[in-house]
Chains A and B, each alone.
Chain A
Amino acid sequence: MEIAVISGKGGTGKSSISAAFATLNGRKVIADCDVDAANLYLLFNPTHEEEIIYIAGHKAHVNYELCTPCGICANYCRFDAISFNGARVTISEISCDGCFLCSRICPENAIRMLQNDKSRMYSGSFRNGKMVYGRLAPGEENSGKLVNMVREKAKQVAGENNLEIIILDGPPGIGCPVISTITGADKAVIVTEPTISGLHDLQRTIEIVRKFDIKAFVIINKCDLNSAMSDQIETWCSNTGIKVIGQLPFDTGVVEAMVQGKSIIEYDINSDVSRMIIEIWNKIINTN
């Protein structure tokens, strides 16, 4: 069973909650799908049993020995990546989308497409099971594909090790990597916080989740920072037919745990937050 933990925005405590779930009783697979800012490996220090290179698209490069320079390519590029000053064409690595068009139309065959090969996927073990995570190199796109790779690997590892539960720590936002994280997952846990932006982002996230046939639960984290807003979110959710399965109070213990490289469960299993997380987890697992 794949359980995706997501949030409309970053900083809601999503990863801390994923980490808590991952360290509860019973070995699990944890897959860090937040490939743009992978963090869980910092807490779990997994072994690297496998390292796989991920090709995140291509970038165009000019071979100036062959370039005449006619400047034709600059007229074709739709991403404003090629500039031509009459004497030299320059391709901006930042803007190039890697579409290959310039390399195809260049009459001198002077443009080569080079692979972006700095991104990685790792698979290994952590103290409560198996861990798979991806790290997208800065500036690279297509993180959705890397997320798919991470999930595939996580499923394979789960199968090989007879582990039933896979926790997907998702990326923030509502873009392509989020969609890749929840497509086909069994359950989605949406972590939000009681701020105005928290509510807005939650609404957008639920809009996405609804496009997929996936059972969704909401956790309001740091609920006591604004209990009126927490209640407002709870009401909005129940009117929309989405279940709020828990409100967690703000607890500096969560940060202290992180500083020590632990989840809140490992740091203080008897804390209020830990007890509530256990309750929440049981609800997630036992709701069909």
Chain B
Amino acid sequence: MIKIAVASGKGGTGKTLVATNIFYTLLRNKADALLIDCDAEAPNAVAFFNVSQGNETEVTRMVPVIDTNKCTFCGKCHDYCNYKAIFIIPPFKIIRVFEELCHGCGACSVACMDDAITEKPVSQGRVTSFNIDERQAIIESRINVGVMSPVPVIQAAIKLANQNHDIIILDSPPGTSCPFIQTVSTADYVILVTEPTPFGLSDLKQSVDTLKSIKKPYGVIINRAGLGNDSVQNYLKDNDIELLLEIPFSREIAEFYSTGGIVSEKIPALGDRLFQMITKIISLNGNSSN
């Protein structure tokens, strides 16, 4: 089993285009592949395939419920909560939990000496499994609107995939903050998708630094090559970073992609190149113990 994450420092560089096309070409070549959409704030991968919905699980977080009859208003839970989620005015016997601020760490439950705190699950989002031709093919993570952090939902999606597939493709959340790191840290290899513009380069550098710090092997795909300038190519050369593939800018690709189509279906050469690329990545990085 190998897990390959497809990521990009900023959104909109073509990360989902690459992830869905890699997945498509793997399926076409009869590989046992699974796609996990970890972009829980804006999951879109499912829309590109003809799927039927399978199991759906709710992802919850435990938040405290305070029994004001037992509470002695000692304030210890408030002191233990590092997220300012418990509000208390002892003289007025007022205590409240701000559920949106709570991270579900359980510190308040440990703090309470009077058995006044129980916990209840609160929904953060859901993880849905989708089938293609009656076998599990895509797992989607999706947070509820207004939820602070997508991390628990992403983790649940990755966990659900367990080890039952040969190749797992993770469509990562954009950026380099917590959700990105949580996703790529579970991968054996990371494909960074960028575009040859100053914004693209700046985000790429940040992603590369992050991946270096957690010691992940990675390579780069330049999407919309020909647009912008060659500063990304030069950066890759100067830093000995592998350029996996260049996808030329074409209006045709952009227009077809906008209809929700799989570009490799229309331009099979793209699928072939992605398949060669991924086969090489697997032969060099495959079968780890992650």
Question: Which residues of A are at the interface with B, using a C-beta cutoff of 8 A?
Answer: 8-12, 15, 36-37, 39, 42-43, 58, 76, 78-79, 94-95, 97-101, 104-105, 136, 138-141, 143-144, 172-176, 179, 193-198, 200-201, 204, 207-208, 211, 222, 225-226, 229, 250, 252, 255, 258-259, 261
Q: Which of chain B's residues 258-278 have a Cβ closer than 8 Å to chain A?
A: 258-260
CB distance from A199 to the nearest CB of B (A): 10
Q: Which residue, A8, A9, A261, has most C-beta atoms of chain B within 10 A?
A: A9
> Would you call B174 and A10 a contact (CB within 8 A)?
yes
CB distance from B3 to the nearest CB of A (A): 15
CB distance from A172 to the nearest CB of B (A): 5
> Would you call A259 and B105 a contact (CB within 8 A)?
no
Tell whether B176 is near chain A: CB-to-CB under 8 Å: yes
With a CB–CB cut-off of 8 A, which chain A residues contact B10? 10-11, 37, 39, 172
With a CB–CB cut-off of 8 A, which chain B residues contact A104? 80, 107, 110-111
> Would you call A255 and B228 a contact (CB within 8 A)?
yes
Tell whether B53 is near chain A: CB-to-CB under 8 Å: no
> Would you call B210 and A138 a contact (CB within 8 A)?
yes
Q: Which of chain B's residues 93-110 have a Cβ closer than 8 Å to chain A?
A: 103-107, 110
> Would you call B197 and A258 a contact (CB within 8 A)?
yes
Given contacts A39-B202, A139-B181, contact A201 B44 (CB under 8 A): yes
Closest residue of chain B to A174 (Cβ to Cβ) is B41
Main secondary structure of the interface of A (DSSP, over half): loop
> Would you call B9 and A37 a contact (CB within 8 A)?
yes
Please report the C-alpha to C-alpha distance between residue A8 and residue B10 in the assembled complex, in whole angstroms: 13
> Would you call B103 and A207 a contact (CB within 8 A)?
no
Size class of the contact patch on chain B: 35 or more
> Would you call B146 and A194 a contact (CB within 8 A)?
no
With a CB–CB cut-off of 8 A, which chain A residues contact B202? 37, 39, 42
Query: What are 17 A-to-B residue pairs whose CB atoms are below 8 Å?
Result: A10-B10, A11-B14, A36-B174, A37-B10, A37-B202, A39-B10, A58-B82, A99-B83, A105-B110, A138-B206, A138-B210, A139-B181, A140-B177, A141-B178, A172-B10, A211-B145, A226-B258
A-contacting 9-mer, from B24-32, B147-155, B235-243: B147-155
With a CB–CB cut-off of 8 A, which chain B residues contact A193? 258
Partner of B210 from A12, A15, A139 at Cβ < 8 Å: A139
CB distance from A263 to the nearest CB of B (A): 12
CB distance from B110 to the nearest CB of A (A): 6
> Would you call A11 and B105 a contact (CB within 8 A)?
no
